[in-house]
Amino acid sequence: MSSISVPSSDEISCNISSFYDLTVKPHAKPTQAGLLPGNVAMFDGVALDTRCRYCSKRDSMLGLCREHSHRVNTKVDSIESVEQVCVA
């Protein structure tokens, strides 16, 4: 789950839970040498995609600057709310 602003504890918990959820990502199979591949959890604050996009799960806009996104309404309430984010 992407964070709209500063990640909340609920978002972090959801992401950690989905990391271990077999319906989200099956467990890795051992290599021919019998080794298990590892996983990496990154918490570096770098956005991978720098464009705004719509999250239907939360009816909100994502991809905004974390430091300033709390100053605008990220909910898609109307075309005016989307235009206000564009102006900001």
The answer as to whether 1 is a domain residue is: no
**Residue-averaged pLDDT of the chain:** 80
Q: What's the structural domain count of the chain?
A: 1
Residue 76 tokens read as 């898609």
The answer as to whether 2 is a domain residue is: no
pLDDT band at 3 (very low <50, low <70, confident <90, very high): confident
- Euclidean distance between the first and final Cα of the chain, in Å? 24
Residue 22 tokens read as 């077999």
pLDDT band at 49 (very low <50, low <70, confident <90, very high): low
The answer as to whether 67 is a domain residue is: yes
54's enclosing H/E stretch is: strand 53-55
The answer as to whether 4 is a domain residue is: no
Question: Which residues touch 61 (CB under 8 Å, ≥6 apart)?
Answer: 4, 52, 53, 54, 55, 74, 76, 82, 85
